[in-house]
Structure 1
Amino acid sequence: MSALEGWWAYVFIAIAGWLATDIWRWLGVLAGNRLREDSEALNWVRAVATALVAAVIAKLVLYPTGVLEQSPLWLRFGSVVAGATAFFVARQRPAVGIATAIAVLAVGLYALGF
């Protein structure tokens, strides 16, 4: 058996994945150029995107997997609160909020002996 025998499956996955997502990107670019920044459609998109991010964060805090699962709930919740506070104190800079949350979680895990 050759190492390249199943290469066509990878090509198919790459092409199918590209076709399934790229058309929506192009349609988004075309539609986005026609939307006003204060339009109701764009406000709805922002609300949905914000809700999705909030849901992912809530899932990570309440139902973690992997190494994060070993950390106590109060530490995960505290790191989110610290990160959100730093985000707003730093004039809504996402990098500051994310770095603060990670640092609080890392220091907490180190202090607990993980």
Structure 2
Amino acid sequence: MTQPIPLLDGPFWPYLALLLFAFLPTEIWRWLAVAFARRINADSPALEWVRAVATALLAGVVAKLIIAPPGALAALPLALRVGALAAALAIVLFDRRRVFLAVLVGEAVLIGGGWMLSQAA
């Protein structure tokens, strides 16, 4: 029988696993991106493609959260989830620099709507 490795068998093994399997693999790509980003023109087709892919991924995640939400968000009606998105989108369309405010307003609509629905029941 193989003897356990004390470092991996103690209370700190989840932190070590997080460091080895989550932080380090992504951190390498971040450092490489910083090294290579200096040579890429901001208006280059490659960077436009990266922006388009990032935007599409974000739109997909938001759509999934609205259409098929996990956990407690699934208890809220679809109309409320779409309304929160519409409120946040209205702020972003009004002023693109206020993304944080848009997120806060979207959350406030979800929380307030959920609270109002719970009071009505």
Q: How many residues align?
A: 111
Displacement of 1:63 in angstroms is 0.6
Where 2:81 maps in the other structure, the secondary structure is helix
Identity, in percent, stands at: 39
Match of residue 116 from structure 2: 111
Write out aligned runs for 1:60-75 (5 A).
60-75=65-80
- Provide the rounded CA distance (Å) in 1 between the counterparts of 2:33 and 2:13: 29
Displacement of 1:36 in angstroms is 0.7
Structure 1 residues 112 and 51, CA gap change in structure 2 (3 angstroms): same
Match of residue 3 from structure 2: none
Structure 1 residues 28 and 18, CA gap change in structure 2 (3 angstroms): same
Q: Which amino acid aligns with 2:85?
A: V
Can you list the C-alpha shifts for 1:37-86, whole angstroms capped at 9, x where unaligned? 10111111111111111111101000111110100001101110111001
Contact kept? 2:7, 2:13, Cα under 8 Å:
no
Displacement of 1:5 in angstroms is 6.3
- Provide the rounded CA distance (Å) in 2 between the counterparts of 1:75 and 1:68: 10
Structure 1 residues 113 and 32, CA gap change in structure 2 (3 angstroms): same
Structure 1 residues 5 and 84, CA gap change in structure 2 (3 angstroms): closer
Q: Structure 1-normalised TM-score?
A: 0.85
- Aligned CA RMSD, in angstroms, stands at 2.2
- Provide the rounded CA distance (Å) in 2 between the counterparts of 1:83 and 1:12: 37
The answer to whether residue 53 in structure 2 is matched with residue 48 in structure 1 is: yes
5+ residue gaps, structure 2, are 1-5
Write out aligned runs for 1:7-86 (5 A).
7=10, 9-10=13-14, 11=16, 13-86=18-91
Aligned counterpart for 1:6 among listed residues 5, 9, 26 = 9
